[in-house]
Structure formats: structure tokens, C-alpha cells
Structure 1
Amino acid sequence: MPDAVDEFYAATRRADAAGILALLHPEFEAHTAPGMPCGAGGAFQGPEETLARVWGAVFTDYDTAPYAETRHRTEDGMIVVTGRYRGTARATGRGYEAEFVHLWRLTDGRISWLHQYTDTARWREALAS
């Protein structure tokens, strides 16, 4: 049975902003990889801020999505997902693939916390002219 994390990956592949927001807890917190392009790296508070400054910024510059490959649950309930982002930089038409690790926490069935690790150099190379 899919949970909010599975649904998040499906919503990002559809570029479904409303679907993403519906999955996030009101006190959602995100920590994204420093060095992410588009100003999308850092700490973000709340669903709307994260949607605008992370996913919105990324979707503006990239046609991209995360594809999960492995999933594990730790003893304390954290969900660990590994996989790859695949996509194309809109300005250059260059494709890219970047590995990721996502650490997730759920509260009341909604996503309350994300920590993202990714190869930001791959993202930036796709944008380079």
C-alpha cells in the first residue's frame, strides 16, 4: 500500500504542485543539498515555501523527476530512499542523471521532514553553456 512518500514521487513525475502540497504536513521542514542550482539548496520551512523555492525553482529550470530504486525503514521510523534524478535542463537541452538519498519522516500520514543528498555537480553541468 503506497504511503505519502510513494505518492510524492508520483506527484513529482506529474509535476503536480497541488498533489505535492496535499502530501506535506503543515509543519513540513526540508534540508536540501547545498550547491543545488536555482537557489534550491538549504533549509526551508513549510509546504508553500518549499514548493516555491525548491520544487518550483527546479521545475522552472529542469524537466526532471526523482526515480526511487531502494527503500528502507529504520527502527525509529525514518524512511530512507535511494535513487536517481533524471531529466533535462530547459535552457541547454542537456540531459543529466544524479544519484540521491532522501531521508523522510511522516507525521499523521503526511510528510513532515525531508533531508536530501544529491550530486549537485551533475545538475549544474546540465545547465552549463
Structure 2
Amino acid sequence: MKNIIAFTTLGLVAATAGLSATAQTPPVDPEMEVVEAAEDAASATNLVKGVYAGFESGDIAAATSGFAEEITWNEAENSPYADKNPYVGAEAIVTGVFARLGGEWDYFNAVPSEYIAQGDRVAVIGRYQAKHATTGKEMDIPFVHVWTVEDGAITGFQQYTDTLTHTEVMSD
């Protein structure tokens, strides 16, 4: 109902200014909007897939190549790596998250299984498979990553995962 009221109010403003609503509104081809939205979603998804490909090959430069200069990265609440949230910029993410993961785990894999894109967001569903170097404990836990893509660059990341298991695996 709010949308209808807002639309009506805008229509009245245009009418009181002596402008016709049809003169201001260019014709819209709904099929073109759908095609453009699909292309944007595909482009954003491919950019995010590049991050996981970089992780898989161990190429951090490739993993971060699509990051915007001021990307904001948030680890899940109660994550062992949320202590410095938000991480801003690739260097903060690499030193605050990636280097710590590399130093504390024998292996730590983020394995995506599904990508869901809408607008400027890409949600990735997958699993972390890892072995902690000190405790020797392993984990296989689900994650959801929500990425924000603007103007062809990744500007945001939010992690959701089982932080209790993650923390337990790191503890003796």
C-alpha cells in the first residue's frame, strides 16, 4: 500500500507541476529489463565464482582481484575471526582472515554448491572442510556467503556459518 500511495503522490506532484506523467515516463520494454537483470546477475555470479576459483588454486591475488578498493568483509558473529570486523580493503582481509586461516589450519576449503543471484547480491551455499593444525580436529560445516557486487566489483561480504563447531575444532 505504501508503494501505491508513493506512486499516487508522485503522480500528483507531476500533475501540479504542469507535467503529464506519460510525458515524463519513457516507454519500458519489460523483456529488455529482464535480459539486463539476468546479464547483471550472471556477471556478478561469475565475479564471485572467481573468488572461489582463486581460493581453490591457492592464488590469493586471483581470489581478491575482483574486490573493490574499499570492500567491507564481515565474518559471522562469534566466529574466531570476527574479532576485527569489519575488515575494510583487501589487505585487511588478507592479513586478518586469509593469513590466519593459512597459519592455523592444515587445510581450509570453502566448497560452494549453489549460487543464487538477485540484483546486486550473490548468495553462495556451501561447506567448509578443514583440519586444524594444532588440535588435529576436522570440521565439515555449512556456510552461506552473501556477496554484494556494484559497478563490476565486489564491495561486500557477509558470512553465516556454524561458529560453535568452528570454535570447538580450534579448542583442545
The structure in which a higher percent of residues are helix is 2
Within 2, Cα distance between the matches of 1:8 and 1:21? 6
Using the TM superposition, give the Cα deviation of residue 34 of structure 1 relative to its aligned residue in structure 2, in angstroms: 1.9
Query: Does 1:72 pair with 2:99?
Result: no
TM-score (norm 1): 0.88
1:94 to 133, 137, 152: 137
Using the TM superposition, give the Cα deviation of residue 14 of structure 1 relative to its aligned residue in structure 2, in angstroms: 2.5
For 2:52, the equivalent position in structure 1 comes to: 9
* Structure 1 residue ranges without an equivalent (≥5): none
Query: Does 1:116 pair with 2:155?
Result: no
The structure in which a higher percent of residues are strand is 1
Within 1, Cα distance between the matches of 2:169 and 2:56? 19
Q: Conserved in 2, the CA contact under 8 Å of 1:69 and 1:81?
A: yes
Within 1, Cα distance between the matches of 2:135 and 2:78? 19
Q: CA RMSD in A?
A: 1.6
Within 2, Cα distance between the matches of 1:94 and 1:60? 15
- For CA contacts below 8 A with separation 6 or more, give which structure has more relative contact order: 1
For 1:106, the equivalent position in structure 2 comes to: 149
Deviations 1:28-75 (A, max 9, x none): 1111112222xx21211111101110121122112101111111112x
User: Which protein is bigger by CA-based radius of gyration?
Assistant: 2
Q: How many residues align?
A: 126
* Structure 2 residue ranges without an equivalent (≥5): 1-41
